Amino acid sequence: MIAFEKFIVDDKSPIYMQIIRYVERGIIAGNIKNQDEMPSRRVLASLLGVNPNTVQKAYHMLEQDEIIESRSGAKSCVVIDADKIKKIHDKLLKNDANSIITAMKQMGISKTEAIELIEKLWE
């Protein structure tokens, strides 16, 4: 079973999107692999402290993106290949890096300061 922890740091976007991103990031990190079983709606919902329906929405969209497969009565299952992983990788990295860089620029922070800040807070 996939380990879900260190979750929900971004309280701005809808929860179901955060779940989607979390799964996508886990795939990139290699923690979530092809044929892995996803935790059930209820399990993940109680783990994250949200409603099962919210998890269901995330799973449903992951299914539409052909990242997982759901069957009634059975666990949801990860279905990915190298090609999909690469696409997810590119999408996430582009989004994440760009948004932080734009934020930093808007705050008038230089590249050097940004890097220092990240080094300091990485811990």
The residue ranges that bind DNA (CB under 7 A) are: 14-17, 38-43, 50-54, 56-57, 59-60, 63, 70-76
Q: What's the Cα-to-Cα distance from 62 to each of 4, 7, 27, 75, 80, rounded to whole Å?
A: 16, 18, 12, 14, 11
What percent helix, strand, coil does the chain show, rounded to 5? 60, 5, 35
Binders of a copy of itself among 11-40, rule CB under 8 A? Answer: 12-14, 17, 21-22, 25-26, 28-31
Give contact residues for a copy of itself (rule: CB under 8 A). Answer: 6, 9-10, 12-14, 17, 21-22, 25-26, 28-31, 92-94, 96-109, 111, 114-115, 117-119, 121-122
